[in-house]
Amino acid sequence: MPDKPLILITGANGFVGRAVRKELEKRDFPYRSVVRSGAQDDELALGDFDEGTDWSNVLDGCSTVLHLAARAHVLHETAPDALEKFRKTNVDGTINLARSAARSGVKRFVYVSSIGVNGVSTDGETRFAEDDPPNPHNAYAWSKWEAECALRNIEAETGLEVVIVRPPLVYGAAAPGNFALMVNALKRGMPLPLASIANLRSLIYIDNLTDALILCALHPSASGNLYLVADSEETSTADLTRHLAVEMGVAARLFPFPASLLRLAGRLTGRANTVERLMDSLRIDSAKIRRELGWRPPYTLREGLVITAKELVRNNEKNI
């Protein structure tokens, strides 16, 4: 039996990185962890990931790079040069790492992008798919799209196998961003004006994303491909909140509120993007990865929420 490939994980101490490491350990796969700062145990700290990062020694012996590190979850970006800030890490840093990987003999580069490259929302029965024209909706999504384009150029120049994965919102007990805001609101018993929202959104449970990423790192047919990944089921924002509250054992204090006024409140408070993500539909067709790689999400949406809620309750009890 051939030796298992050594996988380099960037952003290894982040939400997704920790889950990937846990799953690789379960499968007895060797990996090397790289973080920006605060390295623990066997982690390597390289500072900011930008065009000047020295990857030469870190990549020795690695056959695969799983690039998770990114500038993200800036919920209320106010910098006048927001795109340039995102580019420094998400574009320049990715280009530097990919070229360094190619020079070091790395075979495959798995890049975690964002469904935001496709757009901010879908209408009716429409679902985002891999062959849609890109429509980045903010600075973060633009930086991810620019990085994808740069990686395809590097792939053509060097032969590095590039696999790009675009997930939607990732949920789990340690999820950051808007999911964390929802969890905190439920914990505090806050009334939420979500009862009238009748959208449909694709999400992905953290362990489902982890499974898909490892498959993309290992499957021969993944080379050169782009995949959109999501749980098998869709849900509305209101139903997601209700189901999570039930599993957490707290009340979901949802009340109806006119959609037009909710959108206006979002604009007036500088939270228009957050409100849009709560109200709009975003549906994903993940048939390609299922068809080509045989991927099936290991967990249903309900199972993912049950596990998430149990971890949240357990963590809350530890902090009491």
Assess whether 140 carries a catalytic annotation. yes
Q: What are phi and psi of 13, to 5 degrees?
A: -100, 10
Quote the Cα angle for 216-16-183, to 5°: 135
- Cβ-contact 79, 71 below 8 angstroms: no
Q: What are the average pLDDT values for consecutive 10-residue runs of the chain, which has 320 residues?
A: 82 96 96 93 90 93 96 62 90 98 97 97 95 94 97 98 97 91 92 92 98 97 98 96 94 91 85 83 98 98 94 74
Distance, CA of 270 to CA of 266 (rounded, Å):
6
Q: Which residue in the list 140, 171, 205, 227 is annotated as catalytic? A: 140
162 pairs with which residues across the strands?
109
Query: Letter for the amino acid at 221?
Result: S
Please state whether 319 falls in left (phi above 0), alpha (psi between -120 and 50) or beta: alpha
Distance from chain centroid for Cα 199: 21
What confidence score (pLDDT) does residue 32 get? Answer: 97
Each domain of the chain, given as residue ranges in start order, spans 7-173+205-231+283-298
What confidence score (pLDDT) does residue 74 get? Answer: 57
Distance, CA of 258 to CA of 221 (rounded, Å):
48
What confidence score (pLDDT) does residue 1 get? Answer: 35
What confidence score (pLDDT) does residue 77 get? Answer: 53
Find all residues with CB under 8 Å of 223, minimum gap 6, and list them.
Answer: 108, 161, 162, 163
Instruction: Name the token pair of 130.
Output: 């891999």
Question: What class is the 7-173+205-231+283-298 domain?
Answer: alpha beta
